[in-house]
Amino acid sequence: MPYLTLRDGVEIYYKDWGNKNGPTVVFSHGWPLNSDNWENQMFFLANQGCRVIAHDRRGHGRSSQPWDGNDMNTYTDDLQQLFEYLNLKDVMLVGHSTGGGEVVRFLGRHGTSRAKKAVLVAAIPPVMVQSESNPEGTPLAVFDGFRAAMEKDRAQFFLDVPSGPFFGFNRPGAAVSQGLIQSWYQQGMMSGFKNAYECIKVFSETDMTEDLKKIDIPVLWLHGDDDQIVPIKDAALKGIRLLPKGTLKVYLGGPHALPNICVDKVNKDLWEFLNA
């Protein structure tokens, strides 16, 4: 399996599939998952002749579980090092949830010289947590509840989240997939406890308002209007106004887990945007 040893000795696992000479698409995953959560999109695009790359963020999946560096700047510096190692250029970046925040901070922090487009899927920017400047945000107590649940019984918490709001399986008439629940659980339990615990602060409190304003490449934002994890009103509807070249596409009735629940639709939108 391919690994990259980073500047601080952390080992990052990554996948590099498809045609090495094809259009390059780089994926960033959500919390507390890993690159496996993108397998439907990666398989589809690789079969269209693309080169598709996804890494397990530090502390997640098959990557190292360092005690330190669980912050958005370090995440994006790790991604930049992967870009340099693989000499990636003219990339379309795709990020889901926390991974969408990683894409936004990456482009705001490291610029767009290696990227030509970006897609944000149910992404966390501008900032999730409620504050005086963000009164519509999610109260801090909700995220404190996440941390308390992890400390009490992480395994049960990591079953409760996918069984309910993440995939929208708590909605009346939802077609519940035990396979998706177990896959989410498996990926989540592969993450380091401290890494996943500290990432709650990362995805809830990192303010990416200024990063969004800096992004000078076309950005497609996909968001479900029934997203119970990252409500559209405090994410996409705000963030799209900050992007110089942003386009918002709302999935009616769409949950947070668009890449898993709306597979064909997401694949189609990625393919069309890549070729636009």
Among the options 78, 227, 234, 269, which is catalytic? 227
Looking up tokens 């990020």 gives 95
Q: Is 177 a catalytic residue?
A: no
**Other C-beta atoms within 10 Å of 144: how many?**
12
Q: Is 77 a catalytic residue?
A: no
Token code pair at residue 266: 């997401």
- Amino acid (one-letter) located at 7: R
Quick check: helix, strand or coil at residue 250?
Answer: strand
Among the options 55, 78, 256, 269, which is catalytic? 256
**Would you say 202 and 129 are in contact if contact means Cβ atoms under 8 Å apart?**
no
Looking up tokens 């942003």 gives 246
Q: Are strands 115-121 and 91-96 parallel, antiparallel or unpaired?
A: parallel
Nearest residue to 181 via CA among 236, 257, 116: 257
Alpha carbon distance 168, 97 (integer Å): 15
Q: Is 35 a catalytic residue?
A: no
How many CA atoms are closer than 13 Å to the CA of 147, on its beta-carbon side?
15
**Would you say 232 and 223 are in contact if contact means Cβ atoms under 8 Å apart?**
yes
Token code pair at residue 28: 């960033």
Among the options 97, 204, 211, 269, which is catalytic? 97
Q: Please provide residue 164's backbone torsions phi and psi, each rounded to the nearest 5 degrees.
A: -120, -105
Catalytic residue positions? 97, 227, 256
